[in-house]
Chain A
């Protein structure tokens, strides 16, 4: 039986058993709902506001112009509320009373002082269209020709850079990573302790090596974590697309990819540390105190990412990019706002990978010696001595 086969057996059991628990499934659904809720809130806050104007028309031509304007209104985030007015005088009176925004009468556009530029532009453009069509029709151009002349293909709008929502994406990605690293780190720590406190570990180690058991647990829980992140990301992106009010930033795809990459790297780093925190105690209660320092480091990393949200290019953000403990939460946050050069991402990933490799090595050695230790929690110094 190969090492890999054994590791796979352990990993599959971890996934099956975790997935079986109601807590895991509930937490996946709840996190997905939270992300959807945040997307909705961001949509409401940052979505473009639509201004609504009441416009009166006097006469048939004015009505045609107003109708043409309503066809174009969405592009300018304007909504026209059209009313017919009997006379120009009546319309003027209503505008003076602030009951109307504007009125179209014969050759005049009547407005209050300082009319909204977009409204004026919209109505002028509609007028050009309607009158242009009329001139062409008088010149004997057939309807199809008129349409061709007045409705040429428009310019395709291409936004450069932050398409809006970059901060929201940055906020969500660092929050997701923080939650996933913490949650799945805890799963690992408690899983290791449970094997010790239920004493099944001795039975397992009679069949397989400690390194195989550790690798299987880390990989199984990690795969589950990646799966959960995927579900949450799909829910979030799906919500944004469905709502339509949230423009997905151009950085969405690359940020989500980085969330995946930095989850894997950060999880290897933190997960192995959490596994050690579980291995050096014998009872679940004691795991609280040994995982405490790791939780604290994670919180510091998250707080750094969250507080640098508005300043993703600052020197502090750059420093946090190159600290393996904070990088997993800071790099996607900066990438979401397009505020990190590619080389920094690559260098940061390499650093986290190196730190993770060192942690895997250390964890395997400590775990192997601590996992059969029963009784009082081992001190960190004792555990490190075991690693020698």
Chain B
């Protein structure tokens, strides 16, 4: 279990992290989302140890995360980087050795990851001669070659083609499900996060705005939005229902006190009901809910990021 507890970090006048806390369970795929500049990268760099927090603590399996346990983390930085002139295979083995593996094991792991990531034919080439997509795969290999117990990946999906996205998704699920290694990754692709993640943390302006299992977050808002499609009804047929507000298309948001049956009654009165039911909010909806207003106020363009 990885616990971030009240992490704070200040850069000059900017508060990059403001008492950020969340917990990642064993074997979880954990999505870390938030608009640009929300503090995701800062938090990840503090976990990995390349940055020191001003306050707060990171705990791993109950104890403070020290240098030795940090070496068992697999990390993919936001700014990708490998030695440009070093061959891919040697490079992965080198990183595995730096993480404490014996030479032979490091070489074997590097070779098997290169195979799995589909770049075996480029193993002897310098990294700089690989396509960007293949460089990304090599980067992932560098994060995985030492059999990490925990994966911290900053925007691992950015820049990947659909095939690459599938490969990476499978690898991340494998790591969590088969090996029990928690996988924490940040992404702006919320549909992907929704599909892969067991739990998420949503941050904005360095603060945690929501965290927990995706279903729980959804349930928190479930029942408030309803989908009502009525054939032959005039626009504004629901105007007479107190506490109902048209959100978009056939979606209506009800005040907690409003009984959905009243919306259904109005629908039947207006025409023939084709479809009526609770609208399940997507992660993107949740994200807009919790970040949207703040994001707009902070001028960070949260909507633009999500779109």
Which of A10, A17, A202, A207 touches B81 (beta carbons < 8 Å)? A202
B100 surroundings in chain A (CB, below 8 A): 1
How many chain A residues sit at the interface, stated as a range, is 20 to 34
Q: Is the CB of A205 within 8 A of B94?
A: no
Select one of A1, A9, A13, A203 contacting B77, CB under 8 A: A203
The verdict on B84 contacting chain A, using a C-beta distance below 8 Å, is yes
In whole angstroms, what is the CA distance A200 to B94 when docked?
12
Tell me whether A207 and B99 are in contact in the complex, defined as CB-CB below 8 angstroms, given that A198-B81, A200-B82, A202-B79 are known contacts.
yes
Q: Are A206 and B49 in contact (CB under 8 A)?
A: yes
Interfacial chain B residues near A198, Cβ < 8 Å: 81-84
A207 adjacent to B71 (CB under 8 Å): yes
B83 touches A206 (CB 8 A): no
When the two chains form their complex, are residues A206 and B48 in contact, meaning their CB atoms are under 8 A apart?
Answer: yes
Q: How far is the CA of A1 from the CA of B77 in the complex (A)?
A: 23
User: B79, A207: Cβ atoms under 8 Å?
Assistant: no
Question: Are A203 and B71 interface neighbours, CB within 8 A?
Answer: no
Interface flags, B113-153, vs A, CB<8A=1, else 0: 00000000000000000000000000000100000000000
CB neighbours of B83 from chain A (8 A): 17, 194-195, 198, 200
Report how far A10 CA is from B98 CA in the complex, Å.
Answer: 8
Residues in B neighbouring A205, C-beta threshold 8 A:
49-50
Q: Given A1-B71, A203-B142 in contact, is the A208-B80 Cβ separation under 8 Å?
A: no
Contact A200 B67, beta carbon cutoff 8 Å: no
B90-117 residues with Cβ-Cβ distance < 8 A to A are 94-95, 97-100
Q: Of B51, B81, B85, which contacts A201 at CB under 8 A?
A: B81
Q: Is B86 part of the contact surface with A, judged by Cβ < 8 Å? A: yes
If the complex has contacts A1-B100, A203-B75, A206-B70, are A17 and B86 also in contact, measured as CB distance less than 8 A?
Answer: yes
A171-209 interface code vs B (CB 8 A; 1 in, 0 out): 000000000000000000000001100111111111111
Contact partners of B73 in chain A: CB under 8 A: 206
- Contact present for B95 and A372 (CB under 8 Å): no
Of A10, A198, A209, A372, the most chain B CB neighbours within 10 A belong to: A198
Q: How far is the CA of A9 from the CA of B84 in the complex (A)?
A: 18
Say which residue of A20, A201, A204 sits within 8 Å of B98 (CB atoms): A204
A28 close to chain B: CB less than 8 A: no
Chain B proximity of A13: nearest CB distance (Å): 6
Q: Which of B67, B73, B94 has the most chain A CB atoms inside 10 A of its CB? A: B94
In the assembled complex, the CB of A192 is this many whole angstroms from the nearest CB of chain B, namely 13
On chain A, the residues within 8 Å of B97 by CB distance are: 9
Please report which residues of chain A, range 287-306, place their CB below 8 angstroms from some CB of chain B when the two chains form the complex. none
Q: Is B85 touching A17 in the complex (CB atoms < 8 A)?
A: yes
- Whether the Cβ atoms of B98 and A208 lie closer than 8 Å is yes
Contacts of A6 in B (CB 8 A): 98
Q: Which residue of A lies closest to B85 (CB)?
A: A17
Which A residues lie within 8 Å of B49 (CB)?
Answer: 205-206
Contact A199 B94 (CB under 8 A): no
The B218-251 residues at the A interface (CB cut-off 8 A) are none
Across-interface contacts of A202 in B (CB, < 8 A): 45, 50, 77, 79, 81
9 pairs of residues in contact across A and B, judged by CB atoms under 8 Å: A9-B98, A13-B94, A194-B83, A198-B82, A198-B84, A199-B79, A199-B80, A202-B81, A204-B98
In the complex, the 10 A-B pairs of residues with the closest C-beta atoms, listed nearest first: A199-B81, A200-B81, A199-B79, A207-B98, A206-B75, A202-B77, A1-B100, A206-B48, A205-B50, A207-B99
Chain B contact residues, CB within 8 Å of chain A: 45, 48-51, 67, 70-71, 73, 75, 77, 79-86, 94-95, 97-100, 142
